Amino acid sequence: MKARRWMQSLLELQQSAGSSFEFIENVKSDLFPEEIYVFTPEGRIIELPMGATAVDFAYAVHTDVGNSCVGVKVDRKPFPLSRPLDSGQTIEVITSAAARPNATWLNFVVTAKARLQIRTYLRSREKTESKALGKRLLSHALGKVKLENISEEKIAEVVKQSGNKSFDDLLTNIGLGNALSIGIARRLTDEFTENSELQPVNSKTKMPIKGTEGMLVNYGKCCRPIPGDSILAYLSPGKGLIVHQHGCRNIKGHEPGTMFPVKWDSDIDREFIAKLRVEIINHQGALALLTNVISKCGSNVHSLNSGEKEAGLYVIDMEITCRDRIHLADIIRKIKVMIDVQRVIRNK
């Protein structure tokens, strides 16, 4: 009976269809409801999954069309790139040689091809841009020494010492902040002495900042960066590398070329100092309770200053020890639930 009813519906579709092409398309829509069929301006049929967008269509036509897509027209009218398409629509992709895939497209594309091609391009672009940035940072760190004047043998030696496969990989890692341009520059120019030579790559010695083995590293007291923070650094004569939080007001005056992107290493076994401001009602014993909570979290008070903000409400500026942002967040949560505490913020 089901087969007979299906055959009857096919006959009805054939009779109502204006052409054999329309009949075939109607049958496809009936048999494959999870798919849509759209057209190029030349009449080519593109099959896409339900929910597919114009970006999916562009990549289905050709990878180069998807990568250079800047907009689309659907049935000759402007159409949002993120809106799902419907069967029967004619899509015209507007392209530009200067256009590039957008990372936000990953939020709405549904086809594997579109997702793969967008991610492939973004990874390629990140690597290309990081390599270019790494070369600029290294050239700046070398100062008067020109990169092209350094022998290939010396470059190959430093590439191997730093654990990279090629010089391009080394430049990319500098651009990504995985290697420090100052340290690499000192290796390339033989500025390290026997006593200050960098530790081998497989050394058990862990430095908080990647690529700073053998270097003097200090942390800005103004913003007190801790592992997990986004950080930048600059070289200060006699003080070594000075690390600040990204966005710290005290580094805004530095020229962009003098700041180096740096990253925290993993598994750092040491404590850092963070700055907190706590607003607390000054009941008897409130301060003692506050320091007790901090102590129970595995932290110590490094310094403390207090002042009355208004009647009965005190502001306490303190510096406490912590391992990283996660540890600090746990401390802040424990302080926030105290009865007398009105507000807790991290000072930067």
Query: Residue 327 sits in a domain of what CATH number?
Result: 3.30.70.260
Give the Cα separation of 197 and 194 in Å (integer): 5
User: Is the distance from CB of 235 to CB of 244 less than 8 angstroms?
Assistant: no
Q: Residue 304: what pLDDT?
A: 92
Q: Quick one: pLDDT at residue 202?
A: 39
Asked whether residue 136 is domain-assigned, the answer is: no
Same domain, 229 and 276: no
Q: Is residue 95 part of a domain?
A: yes
Q: Verify that 227 and 307 share a domain, yes or no.
A: no
Q: Which of 125, 122, 188, 108 is nearest to 155 (CA)?
A: 188
pLDDT band at residue 209 under the 50/70/90 scheme: confident
Residue 201 pLDDT? 39
Q: Does 324 map to a domain?
A: yes
Does 43 share its domain with 106?
Answer: yes
87-91, 136-140, 295-299: least confident range: 136-140
Residues 6 and 104 reside in one and the same domain = yes
Co-location of 252 and 306 in the same domain: no
Q: Answer for the pair 278, 343: CB distance below 8 angstroms, yes or no.
A: yes
User: 286 and 255: one domain?
Assistant: no
Residues 246 and 329 in one domain: no
pLDDT at 123: 81
What percent of the chain shows pLDDT beyond 70?
A: 82
Question: Contacts by 302-310 with C-beta closer than 8 Å and gap 24+?
Answer: 302/273, 308/282, 309/279
Q: Identify whether 243 is part of a domain.
A: yes
- My answer on whether 254 and 285 are in the same domain is no
> Domain containing 51: what range?
2-116
Q: Does residue 316 lie in a domain region?
A: yes
Which tens digit of pLDDT belongs to each residue from 252-275? Answer: 766 655 677 788 887 787 899 999
Both 27 and 90 in one domain: the answer is yes
The answer to whether position 97 is within a domain reads yes
For residue 46, the SS3 value is strand
- For residue 153, tell me if it sits in a domain: no
Tell me how many domains the chain contains: 3
What would you measure as the largest C-alpha separation in the chain, in angstroms? 92
d(Cα 246, Cα 233) in Å, to the nearest integer? Answer: 9
Give yes or no: residues 287 and 318 share one domain: yes
Give pTM, 2 decimals.
Answer: 0.49
With 80 as the cut, is the pLDDT of residue 188 above it?
A: yes
Q: Do 100 and 59 have their domain in common?
A: yes
Question: Domain check: are 245 and 336 in the same one?
Answer: no
Choosing from 116, 151, 178, the residue where a domain stops is 116
Beta bridge partners of 74: 77, 91
CATH number at residue 47: 3.10.20.30
